[in-house]
Amino acid sequence: MWKIISILKENLIWSIPAFMAAGVIVGGLTNPDPLQALVAPLTFLMVYPMMIDLKVQDIFSGEDLKVQFVTQFINFVIVPFFAYGLGYLFFSDRPFVWLGLLLAALLPTSGMSISWTGFARGNVSAAVKMKVVGTILGSLAAPLYIQLLMGTTIDVQMAAIFRQISIFVFLPMVLGIVTRIILVQQVGLDKYNASLKPKFPAFSTLGVLGIVFVTMALKAEDIIADPVLLLSFLVPLAILYLGNFLLSTVVGKVMFDRGDAIALVYSTVMRNLSIALAMALTVFGGDEGAEIAIIIALAYIIQVQSAAWYVKFTDRIFGPSLAVLGKE
């Protein structure tokens, strides 16, 4: 069983489309409404494991204030308004899809931000701090951005949004911190890092795949009736990621050394789509929540693909690392 979960996690480029297709098939052949009951437990399964290794104390470490500030400026001043503009251009007649695109842009840095930074031999310690700051700021700022940008288009219930964020983001965050403390005390830091820590992302992946499956099943009728619908969502998503990569690459290359530049790129382009999905399905729920979640689910495909390809071109863009050159 564990081997299957690991394979799914390591091959998100294929497993996410497969679970999307399975959801459409099941939703098309059966009544998917009972699946709505799985949203809350799957959401918790998706968010809680990735919070276990979120070390809040990392915010106060290091002396990389400049790259940290620039990263969060891109994350919270530039990217959300870029996504909002794309949503207005492509989805002004579909406000909940527009909101889904905005949500995908509001919550920066996934756990993979750190992994991809490591793969590209960037500054991992800076990426860790960017993830902690981005996760906390994004969860706090998202309701305010939604109200500011979409409040005149959609009936935004601020109290409901904050309540659901508290349940599905901050509660798992607190439980995750407590879980890590207990596990380290029980087994020791070395065994925790070697044996337990690598398993948490796989459980989170199960939650993601489950949510993707449920989302597509709930919207299967609409997708089957208009299969071109999904393709129309991919265009603005591709523009969002391409624009983000270009901006972050130029800023990183002009302002920072290789390691910090790579950390900046992956911490501004990679979005926390798990929390975005959690907000979509728990705050809005029903048909509206599923409509929001579809475009977020599709963002996974582009995000994983683009991150993998960017690693291949990192040395051409920023030059080889000192390790490759034999200088460290």
pLDDT in tens, 34-56: 988 888 888 888 888 878 877 77
Position 57 in a domain: yes
For 275-311, what is each residue's pLDDT tens digit? 888 888 887 767 788 888 889 988 988 888 888 889 8
Position 210 in a domain: no
What CATH number does the domain containing 275 carry? 1.20.1530.20
The number of distinct structural domains making up the chain is: 1
Contact 114, 124 (CB under 8 A): yes
Position 7 in a domain: no
pTM: 0.83
Averaged pLDDT for residues 237-265: 95
Vertex 100: Cα angle to 98 and 102 (nearest 5): 75
Count other C-beta atoms under 10 Å from residue 311's C-beta: 17
Position 45 in a domain: yes
Position 30 in a domain: no
Q: Which domain holds residue 75?
A: 37-196+230-318
Position 14 in a domain: no
